[in-house]
Amino acid sequence: MNPSLVLGSTSPYRRALLDRLRLPFTCERPEVDETPRDGEAPDALASRLAQAKADQVAARMAGAWVIGSDQIAALEGRPLGKPGGRDAAIAQLTAMSGRSVVFHTALALARAGAVTLQAQDRTEVVFRALKTDEITRYVDAEQPFDCAGSFKCEGQGIALFDAIRSEDPTALVGLPLIATARLLRAAGYVMP
C-alpha cells in the first residue's frame, strides 16, 4: 500500500494533472510568502518556493509525502508574476508578443523528517506576434489572472504560441508529471 500523498496546493490545474496518475491524494493549502529575494534567479525562486510549500505542509501532515510545486515565467531573465487582474494580464501578453518566455516549473516531494526529492523543468514558449485586439479578446474570454504568464495553455492560450519546447508537456500547466512520477517511484510509490 502506498503512503499518504498530499498535494501542497489548491490549484485546480495541478489537482487535475495529479489526478492523471490515479493515486489517491488530498490537497492542503501551503502558507508561504512568495516574494522574490533581491537578485534571485527565476529558476532558484521556483525551486525555493516549491521546497517551502512541500516543507510547510509536510510539517503538519505527519507521515505523508507532500508535493510542492511552483512555476515562474521569465522574460529575458526577469521573473513575471501572476497578473492578478485584466490590465496586468494584457500588459504581460503585450510584452511577450513575438518573444520567447521561459517557464521554470519546480517540484519538491517532502516528508517531515525525511530526505526531500527535487526536480525542475524548463519550458520555452515562443509567442507569435499578437495584435492588441487578440490579446484583449483572449484575456476577456479566459481571464487567466491566476496563471504565470497570463495564459492557460490547456485552453485557448495554446493559440497564442508559435512553438513550445519542453521535455514534459504537462510542466507548462503547472506540475511536470514525468518528474512527479519519477520522484514518487523513488519515494516507494507503486505506480500503475
pLDDT (tens digit per residue) in 17-54 = 999 999 999 999 999 999 999 999 999 999 999 999 99
pLDDT tier at 81, thresholds 50, 70, 90: confident
Average pLDDT of the chain is 93
Average pLDDT over residues 161-175: 94
In this predicted structure, the answer to whether residue 3 has a pLDDT above a threshold of 90 is no
The grid cell for 69 is 510545486
Distance CA 151, CA 155 (A): 8
Question: Which one of the listed residues 43, 55, 70, 121 is annotated catalytic?
Answer: 70
Q: Which of 16-25, 35-44, 67-76, 147-156 has the lowest mean pLDDT?
A: 147-156
pLDDT at 154: 83
Average pLDDT over residues 116-140: 96
What CA–CA distances, in Å, run from 3 to 18, 26, 65? Answer: 16, 12, 7
In this predicted structure, the answer to whether residue 1 has a pLDDT above a threshold of 70 is no
pLDDT tier at 125, thresholds 50, 70, 90: very high
70 is catalytic: yes
Please name each of the domains of the chain with its CATH number. 5-186 (3.90.950.10)
pLDDT at 127: 96
